[in-house]
Structure 1
Amino acid sequence: MDIYFKEEYAKIYELNGDGKVEKFNFESDDGRAEYIFLKRHVEGETETYYDITTPYGYGGPVFYPQSPENLSKLISDFRREFEVYCKKNKIISEFIRFHPLLDNHKHLEDYLEVTFCHNTISINLNNEEQIFSEMSGKARNKVRKALKNNVTVKKEYSKEKIKKFIEMYYETMDKNNASNYYYFDKEYFKNLFELGKDKVVLFNAYHEEDIVAATTILKGRKYIHYHLSANTKKGYQLAANNLLLFEVAKWGGQNGYKNFHLGGGHDGAEDALFKFKSSFNKAGALKFYIGKKVHNPEAYSSVNEFHERKRPEIKEKDLDFFPLYRR
Structure 2
Amino acid sequence: MIQVITDKSQWDEALKLADHSDFYHTYHYHHLSKQHNENPVLIKYHYQDNIILLPLLLRPIEDTDYSDATSVYGYAGVLTANNNKNFNHLNFKKELNNLFHTSKIVSVFSRLHPFLSYQETILYGLGQITSPGNVVYIDLTKSLEAQKLDYSRRLKTYLNKAEKHCYIEEGTTPKDLDKFIELYYNNMKRVKANKYYFFSTNYFEQLLKSEDFKTELLLCKLKETDEIISAGLFIKTDEIVQYHLSGTNELFEDLNPVKFLIDYSRIKATNEGFQFFNLGGGRASKDDSLFRFKSKFSKDIKPFKLWKYIVNPEVYQDLETKLNVEQLPLQPDPDYFPSYRRVLTS
Common fold: TM-score over 0.5: yes
**Relative contact order higher in (CA < 8 Å, ≥ 6 apart):** 1
Instruction: Measure how far apart 1:222 and its partner are.
Output: 0.4
- CA distances 1:79-128 after superposition (whole Å, capped 9, x unpaired): 21110110111100000100011124321332220111201100111232
Instruction: Measure how far apart 1:19 and its partner are.
Output: 1.5
Q: Which moved more, 1:153-162 or 1:303-312?
A: 303-312
Of residues 43, 48, 69 in structure 2, which corresponds to 1:24? 43
1:96 maps to 110
- TM-aligned CA distance change 1:18 to 1:239, over 3 Å: farther
| Residue identity opposite 1:4 in structure 2 | Y
Of residues 306, 327, 334 in structure 2, which corresponds to 1:319? 334
- TM-aligned CA distance change 1:184 to 1:48, over 3 Å: same
Of residues 43, 46, 51 in structure 1, which corresponds to 2:62? 43
Instruction: Measure how far apart 1:213 and its partner are.
Output: 1.2
Of residues 29, 38, 54 in structure 2, which corresponds to 1:9? 29
- CA distances 1:269-323 after superposition (whole Å, capped 9, x unpaired): 6611111101000x2111011111111111111222233333334415x122110
1:83 maps to 97
2:160 maps to 144
1:239 maps to 256
1:225 maps to 242
- TM-aligned CA distance change 1:197 to 1:40, over 3 Å: closer
What percentage of aligned pairs have identical amino acids?
27
For the residue of structure 2 that corresponds to 1:320, the secondary structure is coil
Of residues 67, 75, 79 in structure 2, which corresponds to 1:58? 75
For the residue of structure 2 that corresponds to 1:256, the secondary structure is coil
Separation in 2 of the partners of 1:180 and 1:103? 32
8 A Cα contact 1:154 1:203, kept in partner: yes
Separation in 2 of the partners of 1:155 and 1:296? 49
Instruction: Measure how far apart 1:59 and its partner are.
Output: 0.6
8 A Cα contact 1:264 1:270, kept in partner: no
8 A Cα contact 1:131 1:249, kept in partner: no
- TM-aligned CA distance change 1:66 to 1:259, over 3 Å: closer
8 A Cα contact 2:28 2:212, kept in partner: no
8 A Cα contact 2:23 2:212, kept in partner: no
2:11 maps to none
| Residue identity opposite 1:295 in structure 2 | V
| Residue identity opposite 1:202 in structure 2 | L
Separation in 1 of the partners of 2:81 and 2:131? 24
8 A Cα contact 2:37 2:60, kept in partner: no
- TM-aligned CA distance change 1:269 to 1:160, over 3 Å: farther
The runs of at least 4 aligned residues of structure 1 exceeding 4 Å deviation read: 267-270
For the residue of structure 2 that corresponds to 1:69, the secondary structure is coil
Of residues 209, 214, 222 in structure 2, which corresponds to 1:199? 214
For the residue of structure 1 that corresponds to 2:306, the secondary structure is strand
| Residue identity opposite 1:291 in structure 2 | W
RMSD: 1.8
Verify: 1:301 aligned to 2:317, yes or no: yes
2:119 maps to 105
Verify: 1:310 aligned to 2:326, yes or no: yes
Q: Which moved more, 1:181-190 or 1:191-200?
A: 191-200
**Scaled by the length of structure 1, what TM-score is found?**
0.92
Separation in 1 of the partners of 2:159 and 2:37? 38
For the residue of structure 1 that corresponds to 2:66, the secondary structure is strand
1:68 maps to 85
8 A Cα contact 1:13 1:19, kept in partner: no
For the residue of structure 2 that corresponds to 1:286, the secondary structure is strand
1:291 maps to 307
1:213 maps to 230
Q: Which moved more, 1:214-223 or 1:261-270?
A: 261-270
- TM-aligned CA distance change 1:104 to 1:97, over 3 Å: farther
Instruction: Measure how far apart 1:234 and its partner are.
Output: 3.5
Of residues 134, 145, 152 in structure 2, which corresponds to 1:119? 134
Verify: 1:175 aligned to 2:190, yes or no: yes
| Residue identity opposite 1:20 in structure 2 | N
For the residue of structure 2 that corresponds to 1:43, the secondary structure is coil
| Residue identity opposite 2:31 in structure 1 | K
Separation in 1 of the partners of 2:329 and 2:267? 49
For the residue of structure 2 that corresponds to 1:319, the secondary structure is coil
**Scaled by the length of structure 2, what TM-score is found?**
0.87
